[in-house]
């Protein structure tokens, strides 16, 4: 059985000849059969035609007017081009390639997920439904998410005294996480909230609030109080976000949790 090599890369723009040449040289040097790329920014069929002509390779690219979008697949060796069938999602963020490996039909899904949180949740819900119909499949691309806040290149590093857990509570996982909530988990969830965002499919929804508070009840107060007593408090949250604060002058045991709008987290 022969060995196949596939690679995926966010190229952050793929319209310049010098960059195209660099990536193709890399792929040829490492005997890659098919290169899946994201953020290609090809806007017209002429861009695809010129690429194929200049480098004598076959390739499929989605077309999009968006600056930070677009996906594609380049057949470096040509091994998997025969009988390959490619379809694209309407917004240019997903490519589905059906090809044959060792006589078996294998679907590849190359995606470039959106950065905006509200768009991300809708995107992944639709992706989940699609993948259920393609089992088994190969999923690759740029998911625009990280498993640990410490590995996020766009986040500022918190001070050493700040809890840096990667746990973020969403609507589906809130019940399970809250039953075993620790100071690290809660601290990580609080600290990772930017002013205009929050955990949950659509921010902190009413359903999230109900599940979160009903599950934790009084047990929430202890880790919240520990967080605010021993760690630097988080910045203010935007309208409709959860606000965690301690009553002014009250002992830790009397801390309260308030769901409000446009209030900072206070001590």
What tens digit of pLDDT does each residue of 156-199 get?
A: 444 333 333 333 444 444 444 444 445 554 555 544 444 344 44
* Mean of per-residue pLDDT scores for the chain: 68
pLDDT of residue 148: 54
pLDDT of residue 130: 82
**Number of H-type helices and E-type strands within the chain:** 7, 10
Which residues is 72 bridged to in the sheet?
A: 37, 61
Which residues is 105 bridged to in the sheet?
A: 100
d(CA 104, CA 60): 21
In 62-191, alpha helices (H): 117-132, 174-179, 183-191
pLDDT digits over 203-244, tens only? 444 444 455 555 554 455 555 555 555 544 433 333 233 333
- Between these two residues, 114 and 155, which has the higher pLDDT value? 114
pTM of the model: 0.55
Most confident of the following: 5-9, 141-145, 207-211, 242-246: 5-9
Q: Which residues of 93-128 are buried (b: 16+ CB within 10 A; e: fewer)?
A: bbbbbebebeeeebbbbbbbbbeebeebbebbeebe
Q: Mean pLDDT across the stretch 119-123?
A: 84
Paired tokens of 213? 């508070």
Give the position of tokens 């076959």: 58
pLDDT of residue 112: 93
pLDDT of residue 135: 75
> Could you confirm whether domain 6-142 is CATH 3.40.50.300?
no
pLDDT of residue 79: 84
- In the chain, which segments carry CATH 3.60.10.10? 6-142
Query: How far from each other are the two terminal CA atoms of the chain, in whole angstroms?
Result: 65
pLDDT of residue 131: 83
């Amino acid at each position: 059985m022969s060995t196949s090599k596939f690679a995926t890369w966010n190229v952050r723009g793929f319209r310049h000849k010098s960059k195209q040449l660099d990536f193709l040289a890399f792929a040829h040097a490492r005997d890659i059969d098919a290169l899946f790329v994201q953020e290609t920014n090809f806007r017209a069929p002429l861009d695809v035609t010129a690429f194929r002509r200049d480098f004598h390779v076959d390739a499929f690219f989605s077309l999009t007017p968006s600056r930070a979008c677009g996906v594609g697949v380049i057949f470096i060796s040509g091994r998997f081009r025969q009988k390959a069938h490619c379809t694209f999602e309407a917004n240019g963020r997903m490519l589905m390639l059906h090809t044959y490996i060792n006589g078996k039909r294998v679907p590849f899904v190359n995606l470039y997920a959106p950065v905006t949180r509200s768009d991300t949740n809708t995107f992944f819900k639709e992706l989940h439904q699609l993948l259920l119909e393609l089992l088994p499949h190969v999923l690759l691309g740029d998911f625009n998410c990280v498993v640990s806040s410490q590995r996020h290149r766009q986040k500022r590093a918190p001070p050493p005294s700040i809890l840096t857990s990667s746990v973020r509570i969403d609507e589906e996982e809130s019940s399970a996480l809250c039953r075993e909530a620790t100071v690290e988990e809660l601290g990580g969830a609080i600290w990772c909230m930017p002013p205009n965002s929050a955990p949950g499919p659509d921010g902190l929804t009413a359903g999230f609030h109900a599940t979160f508070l009903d599950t934790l009840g009084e047990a929430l107060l202890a880790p919240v109080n520990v967080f605010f007593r021993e760690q630097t408090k988080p910045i203010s949250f935007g309208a409709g976000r959860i606000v965690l604060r301690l009553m002014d002058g009250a002992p830790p045991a009397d801390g309260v949790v308030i769901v409000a709008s446009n209030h900072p987290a206070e001590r």
